[in-house]
Structure 1
Amino acid sequence: MDIKHVVVLMLENRSFDCMLGMLYPQSDEFDGLAGTESNVWHRTDGTQQEISVWRDPDLNATALCIPDPDPGERFTDIQMQIHGIAATGGTGGPTMGGFVDNYMRQPAAAPAADPYAVMHYFTPDQVPVISQLARAFGVSDRWHASAPCQTWPNRFFVHTGTANGFVNNAPPQFPYTMETIFNRLESAGRSWRIYFHDIPQSVTLSRLWASTLTNFRFFADHFATDAAAGTLPSYSFIEPRYFADQSSNTLPNDEHPPHNVAYGEALIASVYNALRSGPAWKNTLLVITYDEHGGCYDHVAPPPATPPGGDTPDGFGFDYFGVRVPAVIVSPYVKAGSILRPSGLTPFDHTSILATLRKLFGLQALTARDAAAPDLLDVLTPEPGNDGPPAIVAPAIPPSPATVAKAVTKPPNDLQVSLATAGMQLPTAGAKIGAHIQRLASVPSAVPSHATVGDASAAVAAHMRAFLGRP
């Protein structure tokens, strides 16, 4: 096995059942949906209704944005989704029975919440890119989010092996000084790079600030070019576009509900096509996954997990995983049609990426969690025997200016608010980083009050220009 380049694309807030539950028929070999799974909706008036999983047969913008409005994804929301405790009064283990109850208890929004929305799943023909790659290479039905938490904690796990004890995006806890896998790679003489669209969530990690100009690159400007030139680093981490932007007439491609998943499909295709046509394809491992389930239904209960260690300021021990998320493993070292599972009882999670990098490049573990994580090398073939399709064609649906204009007038979602907050904490190019970190530690983090996505997007762009030293 001769893997020299690991590439990770992490999208947003979709469960395994939502995206890939119907990839194959449910069986002992594939733990997908049977089509009969359900939750009971306990209405506030005391009545009940069974809500089953379902699909929208239409392939239009409305169907591709389900669920709308956005489900709850804070720690307390996820506890109800997994355990159903608040809805049923029970104290037992995970039932995966509280998704509908939690969704219908979210603050009122427009459009009004439909109890079926979080039980929705896509069929392979509706998400053809990720489905084709899963079939052409491999999919894991044993990959969980690292914690039953929001985006930031789970993204911290993939970079640092810990969430530093925090379970939600907010309140902000700058500076985030955890040691990262990027620092370990650098110390071992290995290269790394973060490719991003508007602002990378990983930029919140202060130990990366000294490497800004070398290692943070705009995806559109550099990824395909670097892949074609054979100059991708040992480890590439790709972050999607989180904001709509009127100046470039673009919509988010992160797949965060209710963002249209077709734009995420196009991003997946562009990443694969760049790698597949590049000179380093035979030595590349691509992992496509999602940070957390985002409130979308999944039927598999999270198993126990090894706590990473350290403080737990929010009172959670990180002793069990989050909900399952999609994970597609793409490489010439993956047999077509593979369903990839670890050999032991511990499932794959985001720290399996750290374990894989550690094993490939001779690194030390960051925490007890990634030390216990199964790596991906054990499920790969010894020799590169699967080139896969020469290219993947994604449905082309360029957004109209009117659609983008409408999107930028909406209020920012929780993730967008947290990213706008992150932008405000960044040092400007040339600033003394140590002094900046000390200042962040001495005062509470300011939180912006942007009324619209457009305002937040413009502010983030300005902060990133100052951070990168661009006009």
Structure 2
Amino acid sequence: MNKKLICATPIAIAAALSLYACGGSEIGDPDITAIKNVVVIYAENRSFDNLYGNFPGANGLQNVSAANSTQVDRDGSPLATLPQVWNGLTQTGVTPAVTQAMTANLPNSPFAIDDPNGFNTPITATTRDLYHRFYENQMQINGGKNDKFAAWADSGGLVMGHYSLDADKLPLWKIAQQYTLADNFFMGAFGGSFLNHQWLICACTPVYPNADKSPAATSISSVESDGVTLRVASNSPASALTGIPKFVLSGNLTPDFYAVNTMQPPYQPSGNKAASGGDANLADPTAATTLPPQTQKHIGDLLNDAKVSWAWYGGAWGAAVSAVQDGTSNVVYGANLTAPNFQPHHQPFNYFADLAPGTTNRTQHLLDGGLAGSEFIKAIDAGTLPQVSFYKPQGNLNEHAGYTDVGQGDQHIADLISHLQKSPQWKNMLVVVTYDENGGFWDHVAPPKADRWGPGTRIPALIISPFAKKGYVDHTQYDTTSILRFITRRFALPMLPGIAARDAALVSNGSKPLGDLTAALTIKQ
């Protein structure tokens, strides 16, 4: 009997799903044991359409029309124009300067930020930051219509901006052409970097027990009964054309005490200093933004249990640790917008009690990526990467709008790929390059409906490997947790609770469980 017909039967499908859940494989599945090293490179704050909207063969801007891109006002009526880009499109001192006044009367449609006949702002220029917060992201998505990005933004029409790129302008574009680009990959959670880093490593949302009786009590969000919509303040401008929205309280916590917007690690290096006279290794627990240590099971725990080697390489981690130890503050605390601009809330394992300062677990697994990735590159070149590696670029190299640009971060990652391709470990390697979240930028594809945490807006993802399909656009539905799905499948690990809950929610809403990246591979069947 034809194998394809067998694999199409409901019984075969059920058997395959059962084997996958148990860490096994069925005839026709890739033999992923050939992959010995998994490397995850996690950049910042770009939607798919923002960078790859013109990528050949991808679901991009060629599929955008007035029907799926027109932005509506806060009352649901179509906007006559996009709002002005409040406070201007570019950062102060950036050339070419684009002031707020210069952004008036933008057509209600996506636009190219780098259009030479328009704002002419290249990927080497730093644009202003945009809202990328938990509730605001859901309000912008508006049930999948994606039509209130401008309405609930603090950056006005900039949300609709994208770049007109190709392989000559964006280094990673050329790499995407050589390997696999996923064009149906969504950020794991609604909102910003803090929460999506947590979902990258544990598929979970941090908790703040008894937050209403804690220093963080004033950061509990005021939310409508739908659990999605922030309560709008009485003095909020009625129209997006007349001003930035105001809310009763858009805080860091949900009403039931989950941490969804940026909180600081309880351990140094943290954005909060140690308490006066307290342990220098800890962040001040009385600070409203210090999150208590977390105890959920994360991917590091599963890898440890299975004796699989792993590490988180934090760009500029060593410099940040040294800054804490010698009492300086230029790297970690305050508004440092120059290199390396270390971001403590981009270091998710530093929130977990089993990786606290002084533990062997921390010493073995939280490693210095070095300035400009220098220590990570040494490990790549020496062929000493562990079986699973996560790399987080330092702030000025992560592509985050508001404090850096696309160009230098993209080149940095492309340079890392070049080192990885020459590594002694390359022949058995899988590299995933993706972004933590959309950074507030619009995308035209509706996220699949799942649980209360996500998935959020679509983001780029590249699968780079000797085993990746070449010149391929993968339309499989993924999100950030698909990285964990691949790692757990490859190393026969148990499924994290958040992944099982996400799949159950997807199925209950009429979708399939998310992919585990194996659709991008062409290993011997």
- Per-residue CA deviation, residues 255-314 of structure 1 (Å, 9 max, x unaligned), is 111321112112211220111001111100000001111110100111122x4xxxxxxx
Question: Is the contact between residue 177 and residue 472 of structure 2 (CA under 8 Å) also seen in structure 1?
Answer: yes
Partner Cα distance (1:43, 1:378) in 2: 40
Task: Tell me the equivalent position of 1:161.
Answer: 203
> Shift of the alpha carbon at 1:213?
2.4
Q: Does 1:239 find its partner at 2:380?
A: no
The one of 169, 180, 187 equivalent to 1:138 is: 180
The one of 372, 375, 386 equivalent to 2:516 is: 375
The one of 277, 282, 289 equivalent to 2:434 is: 289
The one of 299, 305, 314 equivalent to 2:444 is: 299
Q: Does 1:74 find its partner at 2:128?
A: no
Question: Is the contact between residue 474 and residue 520 of structure 2 (CA under 8 Å) also seen in structure 1?
Answer: yes
Question: Is the contact between residue 19 and residue 127 of structure 1 (CA under 8 Å) also seen in structure 2?
Answer: no
Partner amino acid, structure 2, of 1:57:
D
Partner amino acid, structure 1, of 2:151:
D
For structure 1, which segment, 53-62 or 6-15, has the greater mean C-alpha deviation from structure 2 after superposition?
A: 53-62
Q: 1:47 to 1:62 in 2, by over 3 A?
A: closer
Task: Tell me the equivalent position of 2:491.
Answer: 361
Moved over 6 A (4+): 43-47
Task: Tell me the equivalent position of 1:212.
Answer: 362
Q: Does 1:325 find its partner at 2:459?
A: yes
Question: Is the contact between residue 66 and residue 117 of structure 1 (CA under 8 Å) also seen in structure 2?
Answer: no
Task: Tell me the equivalent position of 1:261.
Answer: 406
Partner Cα distance (2:407, 2:314) in 1: 18
> Shift of the alpha carbon at 1:125?
4.5
Question: Is the contact between residue 188 and residue 363 of structure 1 (CA under 8 Å) also seen in structure 2?
Answer: yes
- Per-residue CA deviation, residues 26-46 of structure 1 (Å, 9 max, x unaligned), is xxxx31112645333649999
Partner amino acid, structure 2, of 1:82:
I
Q: Does 1:348 find its partner at 2:478?
A: yes
> Shift of the alpha carbon at 1:78?
0.8
- Structure 2: segments with no counterpart, 5+ residues: 1-30, 82-106, 207-257, 264-288, 318-345, 504-513
Partner Cα distance (1:21, 1:232) in 2: 33
Question: Is the contact between residue 74 and residue 148 of structure 2 (CA under 8 Å) also seen in structure 1?
Answer: no
Task: Tell me the equivalent position of 1:193.
Answer: 311
Partner Cα distance (2:169, 2:382) in 1: 30
Task: Tell me the equivalent position of 1:32.
Answer: 60
> Shift of the alpha carbon at 1:121?
2.9
In the superposition, the TM-score normalised over structure 2's length comes to 0.60
> Shift of the alpha carbon at 1:66?
7.0
Provide the aligned C-alpha RMSD in A: 2.7
Partner Cα distance (1:266, 1:156) in 2: 26
Question: Is the contact between residue 52 and residue 116 of structure 1 (CA under 8 Å) also seen in structure 2?
Answer: no
Task: Tell me the equivalent position of 2:192.
Answer: 150
State the secondary structure of the residue aligned to 1:31.
Answer: coil
Q: 1:75 to 1:368 in 2, by over 3 A?
A: closer
Number of aligned positions between the proteins? 339
User: Percent identical across equivalent pairs?
Assistant: 30
Question: Is the contact between residue 44 and residue 400 of structure 2 (CA under 8 Å) also seen in structure 1?
Answer: yes
Task: Tell me the equivalent position of 2:302.
Answer: 184
> Shift of the alpha carbon at 1:24?
1.2
Task: Tell me the equivalent position of 2:10.
Answer: none
Q: 1:67 to 1:15 in 2, by over 3 A?
A: farther
Partner Cα distance (1:374, 1:117) in 2: 28
Task: Tell me the equivalent position of 1:453.
Answer: none
> Shift of the alpha carbon at 1:321?
1.2
State the secondary structure of the residue aligned to 2:397.
Answer: coil
Task: Tell me the equivalent position of 2:292.
Answer: 174
Partner Cα distance (1:277, 1:190) in 2: 23
Partner Cα distance (2:49, 2:523) in 1: 30
- Structure 1: segments with no counterpart, 5+ residues: 84-92, 107-112, 243-251, 308-316, 385-471
State the secondary structure of the residue aligned to 2:171.
Answer: helix
> Shift of the alpha carbon at 1:114?
5.7
What pairs with 1:401-440 in structure 2 (closer than 5 Å)? none
In the superposition, the TM-score normalised over structure 1's length comes to 0.66
Partner Cα distance (1:379, 1:63) in 2: 31
Q: Does 1:277 find its partner at 2:422?
A: yes
State the secondary structure of the residue aligned to 1:9.
Answer: strand
For structure 1, which segment, 5-14 or 194-203, has the greater mean C-alpha deviation from structure 2 after superposition?
A: 194-203
